A and B are shown apart, each in its own frame.
Chain A
Amino acid sequence: MKFADFICSEAILAQLDAQDKESTIREMVQALCRAGKVENEEFESIVKAILKREELGSTGIGRGVAVPHTKHPSVNRLVGTVAVSPQGVDFASLDGEPVHLFFLLISPPDRPGDHLRALENISRQLRDDTFCRFLKQSKSVEDIKTVLMEADNNQFGS
């Protein structure tokens, strides 16, 4: 599964304002609401579901990256967005370091395959230091879109 299949370009945030875990998730879900991928009335319910998943263990997987995600019945297909925080966010990540790069995923409960393949794709790409570095250094939405497109075209190592 490619990034283009589930990342909503209109919801990408190149300059995340949030400074803690909950406001990061809120800001990213809000971006998906604005892009019309998520219903406004479902906003609180989705944020709550993502935070619930965080209680199982932070999705801050180390090296400055986090992948908050949830399954939610209000979406009928997998949707996701990317955000970059230049200042870093305390996300209680596994290595204790601040997180600069976020991938947020929401998928319908009846299509777990897509959800799992997206997580697999993100994890595989994130193993590539160049991919992570390029994304973290992105200054604009266009930069992020370019890096994601290059990843989809297998232009990184993994």
Chain B
Amino acid sequence: MAAVLTEPYGTATLLLVLGALIACSALLSRHIDRLGVPIVLLFLVLGMLGGSEAAGGITFADYHAAVRVGTIYLVLILLDGGMNAPWQAVRHFIAPAAALATAGVVLTAGFIAVFSRLLGLPWTEALLLGAVVSSTDAAAVLAVLRGGRLRLQPSVGTTLEVESCINDPMAVILTVTMIDVATSTTALRWSLLATVPLQLAVGATVGALLGYVGLHLVRKVYLPTVGLYPALTLAIAFLSFGAATLLEGSGLMSVYFTAIVLGNSPLPYRSGLIRVHESLAWLSQIALFLMLGLLVFPSKLPAVAGTGLAIALFLAFVARPLAVVLCLLPFRFSLREILYMSWIGLRGAVPIILGAFPVIAQVPGAERVFNIVFFIVVVSTLLPGATIRQVTRWLRLAVPESPAPSAILEINSAHPLNAEIASFLIDPAASVCDVLLSEIGLPPDASVMLVVRGNDLIAPRGRTRLLAGDHAYVFFRAADRVYVQLLFGRRESN
């Protein structure tokens, strides 16, 4: 529809439809989330509705563009994911996450391939399908775990997040190898599998290196306007992806590590910077899944519905749990944690993007594989996504959620500072609960700056008593951080 209109009406119509789709995605997300449906699925369905076979009338079947643009969106999502990942937790759970991201991906691919063959698919398609859907998806995992305002115990939350952020190289390599198998135009590159550890190592090294170089740059240069700082961090992420990929490393993993280095260090205008990247990540989630929805033609789905559904259910109930159990046995996880991670095997953008690879390579049967992949993604996002709250409660893996303060007080500065402001939710178990401020022996350079009690903002005085449920904003020097946390408990993240 848009293509036949002359300019500027063609562009105007396109923006009108895209605007309506993005607005619907943003506005409906809260209601959809309440119904227990992962919001990325909403974006995907809205994308399908915007396509040429539905109301939107946008024709989009450019798989090359989808792969390229989709990768850029993934970089933006991983940048935000990494910036918000506490390094302590990542370091603690990187070994089990790496096992899931390598052996787990191969096992899942193998199980799916064998099952698909049993369903009657030729070996080439079965192997391709296994490779394409073998990895969990960072976009979906981050959207469901963080977007759903779930607070999970780090053992499962961090392991699942890190797994999804570093398992793409294995899935990409498997897919490329299987395309070789299917086309047989070149010698089989099974040896590629041996390069997985190298890709991961290069990705992590380049990522960390560029993270530190970028951090130095961001902290040393003085930019004329605040708005340029997020542009610089974005540039660092793009450089990280590009450099790592050109050096035969994993670009996505590199971005994740760059983001972890940046996010776990003092940054100029830190809170504003983090919020800009959070917004970019959300916009990327919406745009990515809308685009992938546009790429799907609903008329082609009924033909593969039975096969797709069967494989999706096999993945959710057999392949993923089996792979997770085998990978996590050497680690000290409880049965509850293993069960949980078996169930939360969210697929999303990456399998759809990988599904486009064989279509681009013109592998016979690639379009059928692509449509089956779409089914698998929908089911394996819907099933765990819709049940995640109940399962989290049932397996007792949630961390109690703290109410957010009604106001936020923060320091914004272009330069690294020797002091900070942090907010603490006053819990009855904290030493300072039900205590007059004058009784708290704060260090000489520390002070309680503001108390937020419900919607009341209280100017702290010596006679102010901290009550359970208050949010206290405390100013302190870096050297006193530990003592302040001993008194007030864990700081809130705003």
Tell me the minimal C-beta distance from B428 to chain A in angstroms.
Answer: 8
**CB-based contact A57/B490 at 8 Å:** yes
Chain A residues, CB < 8 A from B440? 116
Q: Is B434 an interface residue (CB 8 A)?
A: yes
**CB-based contact A49/B429 at 8 Å:** yes
Q: Is A119 an interface residue (CB 8 A)?
A: yes
Tell me the minimal C-beta distance from A1 to chain B in angstroms.
Answer: 10
Tell me the minimal C-beta distance from A24 to chain B in angstroms.
Answer: 17
User: Which of A56, A109, A120, A123 is close to B430, meaning CB atoms less than 8 Å apart?
Assistant: A56
Chain B residues, CB < 8 A from A123? 482-483, 486
User: Could you say which of B440, B483, B485 has the most chain A C-beta atoms within 10 Å of its C-beta?
Assistant: B483
Chain A residue at minimum C-beta to C-beta distance from B430: A56
Chain A residues, CB < 8 A from B490? 56-57
User: Which of B88, B91, B434 is close to A112, meaning CB atoms less than 8 Å apart?
Assistant: B434
Chain A residues, CB < 8 A from B485? 57, 61, 94
Chain B residues, CB < 8 A from A70? 429
Q: How large is the interface on B (under 10, 10 to 19, 20 to 34, 35 or more residues)?
A: 20 to 34
User: Which of A96, A113, A116 is close to B91, meaning CB atoms less than 8 Å apart?
Assistant: A96
Q: Is B432 an interface residue (CB 8 A)?
A: yes
User: Which of B91, B434, B439, B482 is close to A61, meaning CB atoms less than 8 Å apart?
Assistant: B482
Are A55 and B482 CB-contacts (below 8 A) given A96-B91, A112-B435?
Answer: no
Q: Is A37 an interface residue (CB 8 A)?
A: no
**CB-based contact A53/B487 at 8 Å:** no
User: CA A96 – CA B483 in complex, angstroms?
Assistant: 17
Are A67 and B486 CB-contacts (below 8 A) given A96-B92, A119-B431?
Answer: yes
Q: How large is the interface on A (under 10, 10 to 19, 20 to 34, 35 or more residues)?
A: 20 to 34
User: CA A96 – CA B93 in complex, angstroms?
Assistant: 12
Chain B residues, CB < 8 A from A88? none
Q: Mark B427-460, 1 if CB is under 8 A from A, else 0.
A: 1011110110001110000000000000000000
Q: Is B57 an interface residue (CB 8 A)?
A: no
**CB-based contact A113/B439 at 8 Å:** yes
Q: Is B489 an interface residue (CB 8 A)?
A: yes
Chain A residues, CB < 8 A from B430? 53, 56
User: CA A116 – CA B189 in complex, angstroms?
Assistant: 66
**CB-based contact A71/B431 at 8 Å:** yes
Tell me the minimal C-beta distance from A4 to chain B in angstroms.
Answer: 19
**CB-based contact A120/B482 at 8 Å:** no
Chain A residues, CB < 8 A from B432? 112, 116
**CB-based contact A94/B441 at 8 Å:** no
User: CA A53 – CA B428 in complex, angstroms?
Assistant: 9
Tell me the minimal C-beta distance from B470 to chain A in angstroms.
Answer: 14
Chain B residue at minimum C-beta to C-beta distance from A124: B483
User: CA A109 – CA B430 in complex, angstroms?
Assistant: 11
User: CA A113 – CA B427 in complex, angstroms?
Assistant: 18
**CB-based contact B441/A117 at 8 Å:** yes
Are A57 and B441 CB-contacts (below 8 A) given A94-B482, A96-B92?
Answer: no
Chain B residues, CB < 8 A from A67? 486
21 interchain pairs, CB-CB under 8 A = A53-B429, A53-B430, A55-B429, A56-B429, A56-B430, A56-B490, A67-B486, A70-B429, A71-B431, A96-B91, A96-B92, A112-B432, A112-B435, A112-B439, A116-B432, A116-B440, A116-B487, A117-B441, A119-B483, A119-B487, A123-B483
Given contacts A53-B489, A57-B485, 13 further A-B contacts (CB under 8 A): A56-B427, A56-B429, A56-B489, A57-B489, A57-B490, A59-B486, A61-B483, A61-B485, A94-B485, A112-B435, A115-B431, A117-B441, A123-B483
Q: Give B residues with C-beta under 8 Å from A.
A: 88, 91-92, 427, 429-432, 434-435, 439-441, 482-483, 485-487, 489-491
